[in-house]
Amino acid sequence: MTGGGLIRPLTLTVGLLALWQAAVWVSGAPPYILPGPIAVIEVLVQKYPTLVRHGAITASEILMGLALGTVFGVLSALVLTAFRPARRWLMPVLVVSQALPVFALAPMLTLWLGYGMASKVAMAVLIIYFPVTSAFHDGLKRTDPGWLDLARTMGGGRMAVLRRLRLPAALPAFASGLRVAAAVAPIGAVVGEWVGSSAGLGYLMLHANARLQISTMFAALLVLAVFSLTLFFVVDRGMRHLVRWQPEA
């Protein structure tokens, strides 16, 4: 990133910290309600090893959920496109996966899969699955009909058409779905940790809240925000490289 590119995020960060401190001064809120940024930064320094340890667990849950949700979403979109009868079976699954609130499913997943990492990964997969499947399926369906007619005229088989036409044409839509998935992936993991866990940033936030350690809560939230933003920008940069032939809007 160039020096000019660093100025904007640094300016924004400083501005947000200034607004935060101003809100503390104007409201006169006590530290156990709204701690100032200086207090939170002190906690970040003091509890750095603890935050890193719990953050690594949450990051592992998010990354595993993103990977599995993407794989399942891509496979489901391919099945929906290749086999029309499969839509009658898979479409209800897609709808149900979004119709049921994630917060309602979290206790059941914890009961079935335990308090370990499996239930949190499953929560992240449920959230990621729909945007990836929906976006990739739409991209596969919207391949230019002229290209498909030309490929059939030239004797192209289904696999050749899928590999050389449908998949490249669907990459922009897939990129959009994956960006959305990267943005919402942390929700599943953290909600799962809130319902039941013994480690992770969500667990640390609940533990701190029960003891009115609000600065620790904010510190954990900041660590989660930094990781989430980093994940989104990494995915966004990767997707831009993947569809580098597409003109920018």
Give me 207's structure tokens: 């533990």
Q: Has residue 33 been placed in a domain?
A: no
Q: CATH number of the domain that 117 lies in?
A: 1.10.3720.10
Is pLDDT of 62 > 70? yes
Q: Has residue 164 been placed in a domain?
A: yes
**Eight-class DSSP state of 248:** P
Q: The whole model's pTM is what?
A: 0.86
Q: Has residue 24 been placed in a domain?
A: no
Instruction: Give the separation between CA 249 and CA 246, rounded to whole angstroms.
Output: 9
Q: Has residue 197 been placed in a domain?
A: yes
Q: Has residue 4 been placed in a domain?
A: no
Is pLDDT of 239 > 80? yes
Instruction: Give the separation between CA 13 and CA 26, rounded to whole angstroms.
Output: 20
Tally of structural domains, the chain: 1
Q: Has residue 68 been placed in a domain?
A: yes
Give me 184's structure tokens: 């919402």
What is the structure's pLDDT at 69?
Answer: 93
Closest CA to 94 of 80, 110, 84, 112: 80
Run of H or E including 224: helix 214-242
Q: Has residue 131 been placed in a domain?
A: yes
Where residue 65 falls among pLDDT bands split at 50, 70, 90? very high
Is pLDDT of 3 > 60? no
Instruction: Give the separation between CA 199 and CA 190, rounded to whole angstroms.
Output: 11
Instruction: Give the separation between CA 65 and CA 127, rounded to whole angstroms.
Output: 9
What percent of the chain has pLDDT above 70?
89
Enclosing domain of residue 164: 38-242
Q: Has residue 21 been placed in a domain?
A: no
Is pLDDT of 249 > 50? no
User: DSSP for 11-49?
Assistant: HHHHHHHHHHHHHHHHHT--TTTS--HHHHHHHHHHTHH
Instruction: Give the separation between CA 121 and CA 191, rounded to whole angstroms.
Output: 11
What is the structure's pLDDT at 88?
Answer: 78
From residue 231, give the alpha-carbon distance in Å to each of 7, 9, 36, 241: 21, 16, 27, 15
Are 122 and 109 in contact, with CB atoms under 8 Å apart?
Answer: yes
Give me 28's structure tokens: 């006169």
